[in-house]
Structure 1
Amino acid sequence: MKLSPIYLSMLCALSALQSVSAEEINETDNQNQPSNLEVIEVKGRYIEGYNAHSASGASRLDLAIVDIPQSVSVITSAQLQDFQLNDINSALDSATGINVERIETDRTYYTARGFDVTNFQIDGVGLPLTNGNNHADEDTAIYDRIEVIRGANGLMTGVGNPSATINFIRKRPTAQSNLNLRASYGSWDNKRIEADGTYIINDTFAARAVAVKQTKDSYLDRYETDKTIMYAFLEANLGDNTSLSISHSYINNDAKGNNWGALPLFYTDGSPTNYDRSTNTSADWSNWQVVKNNTVAELSHYFNNDWHLRATYSHRTTDEDTELFYVYGTPDKETELGLTGYGSEYDLDDEHDLVDVYLNGDFELFGRDHQLVVGVNYAKVSYIDTSLYDYTTGNGFPAMPDLNTWDGNTPKPTFADGLSGSDVEATQKAAYFTGRFNLFEGFHLIAGGRFNDWQVDGEAYGNDQTVEDAEFIPYVGAVYNIIPELSAYASYTETFTSQTEKDINNNILKPVTGESSEIGLKSELFDGRLITTVAYFNVIQTNLATLDPDTAELPPTEQRYYGADGIESKGFELDVAGEVYPGLNVSLGYTDFDISTSDETNQVANYTPEKLFKLGTTYEIPFLEGLTIGANMRWQDDIFRYQEPTKTVVTTQDAYAIVDLMARYEFNENIELSVNAKNITDEKYLTSLYWAQGFYGAPTNYSATLSWKL
């Protein structure tokens, strides 16, 4: 693995900072330590496991999880490290209620409760994904934890689907200077090196930096990735009550041999295909490079012990350059012929500017203490993407050989034809407020709302995207503390999504509304070391654009729509996280729900697993000091997809479980070795039936990681 000069410089800088810090601390300690100092030794164990007590993504109140009237779970830093969850896809695989739809190697959708998850935030600030999906292998190294707020999150987002909000909490400087180095090697020549350090410069300034370099091949033919991560966070305490921070992250993911689309799943006679797991539809020249930059400035001020002001500005850019190869058609079972290739060049420039300012604090009314948050939010996103094809040289749409023996060799097209694309700008202006009222002993009411003014201008592949909506999104929730260890809660909130379709009177349809209601119980057991949530939810999508059958035979520009009920899902979830026994940490989630749609084929319900079980657990072996073992498992029930409207061809994926194992040995306080084994049963499974194509998940694979703490 070749390290670039900038990456080597970052590693050297981190090491140098740590060395200087250690020398300064030692000299200061030696000079100031009295000779007759009484030493008190305290022995105990600091619990850093799977139990996160608070989450800020559901509101600006930074409440304890048991005080939030919604289903909330947190993927902690301990989980991320234990099972080497180095990318957000593998991390969200372990989250209760989240289904990761890997439709391609470098494009992923996420669903919860039957709806696409589109709201991804960083430290509580963000907009829905531009295309509803995530591109590239995004790393988790710069994040301290990941909060998952299931259901609609009307207060903090307002726009999007009533599925879930994923809130990534970034790493910040720690209380003391330190440096952590990790190096790992795994199957398919997977090499990764990571450095993470904090340096306390003085009483005013502190800095944290993270650097990652990873290169790996794949079980898929021709697929390989090269990933570089750089992150720096500088914090300044301007006074006892005021702090200012500025940070920047740089992510460069360069993939080669990536697929666009995936394998055909049935033959011309309707029988299922069964390719080797390594079979890939990519050409040997296919590539997809994604570069993401994010700069964040944050000002925090405490007016007194009761009121706090926070202002955040974020500027994010995404630059994608791709050359892609798609394979379509239906092969013959005897000859394996009948498929056609399809080349395209796709480029994207995406830019986000986000401003969020809020004030929160405590106040007294009628002899009781209450909390209040008021804030404003401004967001602007603009993106330009272009697609080019080859209609003239004969290389743009080649006849394909047998995929079982194809080596990816096909002439590279000349991408100069059929220019099309998008030029869209969207603006959101919002104001929000939340009050948490202590109405009587043990009972809190959370009520508030968000006013969103949403404007979109532009065109996408010939379709007008211009729309303007203004909506008020209400939120109400209540929590009652039955006994100190048990609380009951209920909540209702909404989200909305703009539509561009027109009705029979040529008026643009009103937004799709997602209504989410939930009731549940939460408990804190074993002195707060274990948190359990049981929830029942009901989510309804209304006013979804549905084609007017009287206009079905007209050209697309003349077709008209009406608003109808969309997806409805209802079911329950169980979430357990924490330490159930000294040294035994558990993260457990079970989801069981039913989906109904107005679509006659009920396709969403078919390809969405309605039962999900997630379990992550580690145990510190008491009779072998320093040894920790663990297992991580996810199970889903069977899914299927009708491949034709006639329902004569059906692709089925039976229920399956993926089991991972880990073992870690701490040689001393500074050095530890971890070994991870993934998919130990070598399960062969399709990663998704979200589309009519699919590919297989990774077979059994292994990695070893050496960690060094300074």
Structure 2
Amino acid sequence: MFILNVNGKENTIKPIVRAIQLALFSVWAVNHVVYADTASASLSEDSVQLPTITLYANKEEGYKANKLSLGKLEQSIKENPQSVSVITAKRIEDSGWATVDQAISQTTGMTVQSSGNVNATYYSRGFEVAVQKDGMNSGYASGAEREIDSLAMYEQIEIQRGAAGLLTGAGQPGGVINLVRKKPLAEDQINVALKAGSWSTWGATFDISNTFLEDNRLRSRFVADYENKDYFYDVAENENLALYGIVEYDLLPSTTLTFGATYDRREAIPEITGVPRNADGSDSKIDKTKYLGAAWNRWEIDSHSLFAGIEHRFNEDWSFKINGQYENRILNYQRAFYDGNNLNLDTHVFDQLTGYFSGDMKIEDYGFDAALNGQFKAFGRSHDVVLGYNMQRLEEPRPWLMLDPIKIPAVSLEDFDPYNVYRPDMPHVPTTTQRETTQKAFYAMTRLNPIEPLHVVIGARLGHWKFVNRTISTGAKTSAYEDRNVLTPYGGIVYELTDQLSVYASYADTFKVQTNYYTLEGDPLDPAVGANYELGMKQELWNGKAMITAALFRIDEDNRALAVPDTELKCPAVSGQCYANAGKVRSQGFETEFTGELLDNLHLTAGYTFNKTEYLNDIKFQSGDTYSPFTPKHIFKLWGSYTLPMYDQRLTLGGGVSLQSETKNIAQNKAKEQIDIVQSGYGLWNAFANYKVSDQINVSVNVNNIFDKTYYKKLGSLGSGNYYGDPRSFMLTLRAKY
């Protein structure tokens, strides 16, 4: 029996080692059964030799993806009974994106809340979205304290909107993003890209794939990506280096080993506070080129990861996979910005800065996933099944301190000089506390095919979530929350009306831990449960060259922590506020997307989302009030590229637009009055041109925000947290392939 203990501190380094040990044992066991007699005799005439199966990367040549790696069952987009979008390699190249954040912001139904140039959080349907890498939960997540991932190491990005608890475990019901790493190619290839653009941006990418040994049994791929850039505001700077390598080796004809590693280094002057609003919530129209912090601010992050896997194919129907990964991020920052609480909102005058600094904040993430996939026959038909177990452990120390206020002569924001700020002593910050989060789960899913056009998908996850906050010097727990045996169900029905058209209905769950809240009886609250209901259709067009999808959806998050009135300082467990599992919010709407080749050489992706979010039961808000005010009610995103028939089809032109309706944030002034901070609806237009100089070389130019629209990419409070979006910019890229 294989037992893995991840609760003890001493075992935090073991999951990947244990996973690899189990994988190698499995290979040995199967190999022993198949080849046990080869030492003493040759294989009999009745013996079966498994065929050699070599796996290669599959680069999608258009905007429509033919394969989907997201999920526990092998499936196409058409077979998945939820809303799914895929950003292919061609779409990434045409758009000229450099980071994951840029790609997500241009995807159907997605909202990116970006705080300056150092972090961003992804939302769908009013809820936060989880992040995976090759199907495994990543401590990367969205939000702060992470690297801004370079797109150079990913082949494509898969987004499933709506609850995905079976895939991710604990979390919100917004969905899941799967970052698919590049794999070795079937032939030796070298790709080089050089770029230069606005705000002194320049960079280079090298992507090399090689094959070795007979039958290409050993394959490798290496990517190096470097970018140095300033920003549209003063005192800006950002330097990124990303390295990625992967090796695949066919240990046996039916067994493949994978090992890889990444390294990211980012040095930036962070823009972390944004700008204020006026006292009445209206736009302050502060000069967007102003930097309102100290010129000595720094944000440095080193990120490392290791990942390994083994896949054994017993036969054409059954396979066993184990994947393990280890990630760590070391973050060091120092930052000081105008004090929003010290700011006069009428005159925009202030006389002190405040901020934080840190020691080496090392965030570590360990995890593995083991799954048995196969097909079985029943009632004369073939059915699919997957059984698995996964684990993730995240350790987050908190070595940071708040700066004492830095006094300066009274000055207006417009006249503030970032270089005229005293830099206080910043001693080493000892790491005193650490947060540890562990979740483990068994999961199972089956796709039943009772009759030819009908497919029934049923699955469940039985999870265990544990959080501990401890003092590092003593190991003593200062707080701990735990939820055991949380069942997360999933179900869907897909009915194929024709070979190209299918309709579906699905139900999916998530759960969010709330054991840090207590009832009147002193018991921890049950998890909040997010349930996603969806009805939709998926139609393939023109022999699979394009696809159109449409869906009606509703997400109810129920059992949310709701404060019980008149119980302040009365809760038995914490001598504080008591809560009940009574809060509820809802998100519902309609979504449609077209992706693929509309005409010969005309590739297009277009998506529209209508989304309404509301409180159904809450203490602070009335029933019907907007739950997620930063989520636009209407979102439309369009992008296309067309290769002209003249000039020997060397010239490709394209572009698109992102349109969204009004958004807002709800703030309070000093008199505790509610103030609405509103961002009017707006559109951003982008375009590109690509010229194929030869079969190996092409040059492209991208123009973003063509009409130089001034807008806010995130709204905050009256005093701070309102961030300008990027003005018009240009990028010239030279690509060569050999």
Shared fold by TM > 0.5?
yes
Comparing 133-142 with 679-688, greater Cα deviation is found at 133-142
Q: Which residue of 1 is the match for residue 237 of structure 2?
A: 224
Is the 1:502–1:561 Cα contact (8 Å) retained in structure 2?
Answer: yes
**Cα distance, 1:469 vs structure 2:** 3.2
CA contact (8 A) 1:383 1:423 kept: yes
Check 1:563–1:204 CA distance in 2 against 1; reply closer, same or farther (3 A cut).
same
1:661 matched to 2:687? The reply is: yes
Between the aligned partners of 1:128 and 1:563, the Cα distance in structure 2 is 28
Distance (whole Å) between structure 1 residues aligned to residue 480 and residue 233 of structure 2: 38
- Name the SS of the counterpart of 1:55 in structure 2: coil
Going from structure 1 to structure 2, the CA distance change for 1:346 and 1:370 (only over 3 Å counts) comes to: same
Contact 2:699 2:733 in 1 (8 A): yes
SS at match of 2:136: coil
Q: What residue identity is the alignment partner of 1:407?
A: D
Aligned residue number for residue 510 of structure 2: 495
Q: Which residue of 2 aligns with 1:466?
A: 481
1:404 counterpart SS class: helix
Q: Distance in 2 between matches of 1:517 and 1:354?
A: 30
In 2, distance between residues paired with 1:460 and 1:694? 35
| Match among 265, 271, 274 for residue 252 of structure 1 | 265
Q: How does 1:366-381 map to 2 (within 5 A)?
A: 366-381=379-394
Cα pair 2:195 2:202 within 8 Å, conserved = yes
SS of the residue corresponding to residue 93 of structure 2 reads helix
The answer for the alignment partner of 2:500 in structure 1 is: 485
Letter in 2 for 1:600: F
Quote how far apart the aligned CAs of 1:690 are.
5.4
Deviations 1:640-687 (A, max 9, x none): 223217555332111001111000000111000000000001000011
Residues 271 and 538 of structure 1: is their aligned pair in 2 closer, same or farther, counting only changes over 3 Å?
closer
Counterpart residue type for residue 440 of structure 2: K
Aligned to 2:521: 505
Residues 519-534 of structure 1: pairs in structure 2 closer than 5 A? 519-534=535-550
Q: Distance in 2 between matches of 1:69 and 1:512?
A: 24
C-alpha distance in 2, partners of 1:148/1:460? 38
**Is contact 1:388–1:419 with CA below 8 Å preserved after alignment?**
no
Rounded Cα–Cα distance in structure 2 between residues aligned with 1:181 and 1:225? 22
Rounded Cα–Cα distance in structure 2 between residues aligned with 1:218 and 1:354: 36
Amino acid at match of 1:654: S
Counterpart in the other structure of 2:729: 701
Of 140, 146, 163 in structure 2, the residue corresponding to residue 135 of structure 1 is 146
Distance 1:271 1:476, change over 3 A: closer
Distance 2:488 2:224 in 1: 40
Report the Cα distance in structure 2 between the residues aligned to 1:627 and 1:554, rounded to whole angstroms: 72
Give the equivalent residue in structure 2 for 1:635: 659
Residue of 568, 573, 577 corresponding to 1:559: 577
| 8 A Cα contact 2:146 2:329, kept in partner | no
- CA contact 1:103–1:690 (8 Å) conserved in 2: no
Size of the aligned set, in residue pairs, is: 658
1:64 counterpart letter in structure 2 = S
Match of residue 212, structure 2, among 188, 201, 207: 201
Inter-CA distance 584–130: structure 2 relative to 1 (3 Å threshold) = closer
Amino acid at match of 1:621: L
Whether the aligned pair in 2 keeps the contact of 1:109 and 1:134 (CA below 8 Å) is: no
Structure 2: distance between partners of 1:275 and 1:580: 44
Native 8 Å contact 2:569 2:576 kept in 1: no
CA RMSD of aligned residues (A): 2.3
Aligned twin of 1:183: 194
> Residue 615 of structure 1 corresponds to which residue in structure 2?
638
Classify the secondary structure of the residue corresponding to 1:619.
strand
Q: 1:374 to 1:510 in 2, by over 3 A?
A: same
Other structure's SS at 1:311 match: strand
Q: Deviations over 1:478-526 (max 9, x none)?
A: 1000112210001101111112112222221111111111110000001
Is the contact between residue 357 and residue 403 of structure 2 (CA under 8 Å) also seen in structure 1?
no
Moved more, 543-552 or 190-199: 543-552
| Residue 375 of structure 2 is aligned to residue 362 of structure 1 | yes
Which residue does 1:154 correspond to in 2?
A: 165
| SS of aligned partner of 1:549 | coil
Percent of aligned positions that are identical: 28
Distance 1:390 1:329 in 2: 15
Which has the higher mean CA deviation after the structures are superposed, 691-700 or 196-205?
691-700
Equivalent residues in 2 for 1:37-48 (5 A)? 48=61
- The Cα of 1:382 is off from its aligned counterpart by 1.0
Conservation of the 8 A alpha-carbon contact between 1:390 and 1:414: no
Change (3 A) 1:479 1:460: farther
Question: Contact 1:523 / 1:533 at 8 angstroms: preserved in 2?
Answer: yes
SS where residue 102 of structure 2 aligns? Answer: helix
1:589 aligns with 2:617: no
1:248-294 CA-partner distances (Å, limit 9, x unpaired): 000111112x1222211223x65531111212222101111111111
Specify the alignment match of 1:681 in structure 2.
Answer: 707
Given candidates 104, 119, 135, the residue that maps to 1:92 is: 104
Aligned to 1:476: 491
Higher mean Cα deviation, 242-251 or 638-647? 638-647
Paired letter, 1:401: V
The aligned counterpart of 2:305 is 294
Query: Quick one: structure 1 residues 237 and 685, their matched pair in 2 at CA, closer, same or farther if it must change by over 3 Å?
Result: same
Mapped to 2, the partners of 1:212 and 1:226 lie a distance apart of 11
SS of the counterpart of 2:103? helix
SS in 1 for 2:349: coil
The equivalent position to 2:621 in structure 1, one of 600, 606, 616, is 600
1:448 to 456, 459, 474: 459
State the match for 1:3 in structure 2. none
Q: What SS does the corresponding residue of 2:507 show, helix, strand or coil?
A: strand
Structure 1: runs of 5+ lacking an equivalent: 1-45
Which residue type is aligned with residue 676 of structure 2?
V
Q: Deviations over 1:581-622 (max 9, x none)?
A: 000001111110110123417464322212111111100111
Asked if 2 retains the 8 angstrom alpha-carbon contact of 1:390 and 1:416, the reply is no
In the TM superposition, 1:319-330 aligns within 5 A as 319-327=330-338, 328-329=340-341
Q: Distance in 1 between matches of 2:268 and 2:467?
A: 32
- Structure 2 residue aligned with 1:518, among 534, 539, 542? 534
Q: For residues 544 and 661 of structure 2, what CA distance do their matches in structure 1 show?
A: 33
Decide whether aligned partners of structure 1 residues 112 and 463 sit closer, same or farther in structure 2, where only a CA change above 3 A counts.
farther
The letter for the 1-side match of 2:169 is: G
CA shift in 2, pair 1:270/1:671, >3 Å: closer
CA distance, structure 1, for counterparts of residue 559 and residue 464 of structure 2: 19
Kept after mapping to 2: 8 A contact 1:116/1:132: no
The gaps in structure 2 that reach 5 residues or longer are: 1-58
Bigger Cα displacement from structure 2, 154-163 vs 445-454: 154-163
* Conserved? CA contact 2:249–2:256, under 8 Å: yes
| Change over 3 Å in CA distance of 1:398–1:310 after alignment to 2 | farther
Using the alignment, how far apart are the partners of 2:366 and 2:488 within structure 1? 23
Structure 2 residue identity aligned to 1:318: R
Change (3 A) 1:691 1:108: farther
Equivalent of residue 649 in structure 1, options 643, 659, 675? 675
Amino acid at match of 1:701: S
C-alpha contact (below 8 Å) 2:529/2:557 kept by paired residues: yes
Write the deviation string for residues 190-235 of structure 1: whole angstroms up to 9, x where unpaired.
Answer: 0010000101122321110000111001101111101001111011
Matching of residues 21-32 of structure 1 within 5 Å: none
Instruction: State whether residues 108 and 135 of structure 1, in contact with CA within 8 Å, keep that contact through their aligned partners in structure 2.
Output: no
Q: Do the aligned residues in 1 keep the contact of 2:711 with 2:725 (CA within 8 Å)?
A: yes
Partners of 1:205 and 1:234 within 8 A in 2 = yes
| CA–CA distance in structure 2, aligned partners of residues 400 and 237 of structure 1 | 68
1:628 is paired with a residue of what secondary structure?
strand
Q: Is 2:412 aligned against 1:402?
A: yes
Q: CA deviation at 1:166?
A: 0.3
